[in-house]
Amino acid sequence: MDNLFIYLIILVILAIVVVLIYLVDKVNAIEGRGTVGELASQAAALITSGPSLDNGFNGLSGKKLWDTACGKAEPPLGIPELESFRIRYEPILNKHILGLIEDGGHDAAGGTTRSPQATRNISTLRANVESWLPPQHVSALYKAGYEAASNPAEIPRIAQGLDETCTTLYARCDIDIGLPYSQRVFNDASSNNGVDSGASAAMLLEGPHADPAQNGVADAGAQAGDFEVDPVSR
Whether 39 shows a pLDDT value over 60: the answer reads no
What pLDDT, on the 0 to 100 scale, is given for residue 90?
A: 97
Q: What is the CA radius of gyration of the chain?
A: 31
Per-residue pLDDT, averaged over 134-145, amounts to: 97
Q: How far apart are the first and last CA of the chain?
A: 112
The more confidently predicted of residues 38 and 225 is 38
3-class secondary structure, 123: strand
The chain-wide mean pLDDT, for the chain, equals 77
41 pLDDT band (50/70/90 cuts)? low
**pLDDT, tens digit, 9 for 90 and up, residues 83-98:** 999 999 999 999 999 9
Residue-wise pLDDT for 56-86, tens only, equals 788 899 999 999 999 998 888 899 999 999 9
CA distances from 28 to 16, 24, 31, 37, 193 (A): 18, 6, 5, 14, 83
Kindly report the backbone phi and psi dihedral angles of residue 200, in degrees, each rounded to the nearest multiple of 5, phi listed first. Answer: -100, -10
Has residue 217 got a pLDDT over 50? Answer: no
pLDDT of residue 120: 96
Helix (H, G, I), strand (E, B) or coil at 57: coil
pLDDT at 31: 55
User: Is the pLDDT assigned to residue 15 strictly greater than 70?
Assistant: yes
pTM above 0.85, yes or no: no
Residue that wins the pLDDT comparison between 101 and 213: 101
What pLDDT was estimated at residue 179?
94
191 vs 129 pLDDT, higher one:
129
The pLDDT value recorded for residue 101 is 97
pLDDT of residue 58: 82
Check whether 5 has a pLDDT greater than 50: yes
Burial of 145 (0-12, 13-18, 19+ CB in 10 A): buried
Amino acid sitting at position 198: G
**pLDDT > 90 fraction of the chain, expressed in percent and rounded:** 49
Burial of 222 (0-12, 13-18, 19+ CB in 10 A): buried
